[in-house]
Structure 1
């Protein structure tokens, strides 16, 4: 299991006002979280004070992540990859640009995101949750999950890590975490869907105890 950071290039490109989000009068934090956890329009394309504020495909944004992952894992035409928590499938689509001939598959619990997914790969996305992946052992050359697993309660977190381990030959997970009280406060202020608030050491404990041997990285709110 190795620490490999593919996601900072995306995460650090966003400017965040933590206090404005938590103190908003129209969408106070609890209200924003209730709306966001429906995983519907408000989460993806509603007001920015709730979550994304309009989640659209941006040319090249995810391509650099796809290329870094493809190079690291040696992905080639004919390989099969699975995106657990794929949302609208933008990274899946950019994988097809970076590695022509690759077979992409995705799974998400948001019917809204699936219905509004990138048209070119929409038929490769299925509705489902991470704790019960409907695939055979080692069916995929790479299984990855970005900013999804931390949204699960502990009982589902255990099952999901074991499922990702089971269906992938190579695995990569990116989750939110914190290293100090400032990052902990910022994470609590900014997040609207996180259920697993863990330090890096605590995440490592989860990985070991669930038998997860894949790679990982953390997102910090500095």
Structure 2
């Protein structure tokens, strides 16, 4: 298990006004979170004060992440790749640009995201939950989960980490939100709308050891 940063190149490109998020007169934090946790239109394509404000495919945005992973991990020919919490499938679509013969699979709990996913790969995505993955043991050459598992409460985070470990062979990578100090904790509380697992890196390490998760990881910090 190693901490590998594939994601900061995207995360740090976004400017954030934390206090405005909390105090917005129309969508104050509690209301925004209530809407966002439905993972429906408001979460993906609604007002920016709720969440993404229009989650659209941007040429090359996810390709740099897919390429970095493909270069880091030693994958076989025609690798099977699973994205847990795939959303609209943009990362998986860009994986095919980097590894054209890959077998891609995605699972997400948002029927809205899947209905509005990339047309070209929609048949490779399915509705489901991270706590019960419908694949056999050691099935995938690479399993990834980005900004998903921190949305789960403890009773679901435990089985989700165990499932991720179960279906993957050697290569696994997840990215979750975290904080290293009180300022980052406050910023995370102000900005997030779906996070349930508020853990320091040390606490996340405990979760990995507790569930037997052997994959790599990185953390998103709100500095």
Tell me whether the two structures share a fold, i.e. TM-score over 0.5: yes
Say what the alpha-carbon RMSD is for the aligned residues: 0.6
Q: Which residue of 1 aligns with 2:119?
A: 119
1:199 aligns with 2:193: no
Q: Which residue of 2 aligns with 1:214?
A: 215
Q: Which residue of 2 aligns with 1:183?
A: 184
Q: Which residue of 2 aligns with 1:84?
A: 84
Q: Which residue of 2 aligns with 1:155?
A: 155
Shift of 1:24: 0.3
* Equivalent runs, 1:39-50 vs 2, <5 Å: 39-50=39-50
Q: Which residue of 2 aligns with 1:20?
A: 20
In structure 2, what is the Cα distance between the partners aligned to 1:113 and 1:163? 22
TM-score, length-normalised on structure 2? 0.99
Question: Contact 1:76–1:99 at 8 Å: present in 2 too?
Answer: no
Residues 31-69 of structure 1, C-alpha deviations (whole Å, 9 max, x = no match): 000100011000000000000000000000000000000
* Equivalent runs, 1:48-87 vs 2, <5 Å: 48-87=48-87
Q: Which residue of 1 aligns with 2:136?
A: 136
Runs of 4+ in 1 over 6 A off after TM superposition: none
Shift of 1:75: 2.9
Task: Give the number of equivalent residue pairs.
Answer: 222
TM-score, length-normalised on structure 1? 0.99
Shift of 1:100: 1.1
Q: Which runs of 5+ in 1 are unaligned?
A: none
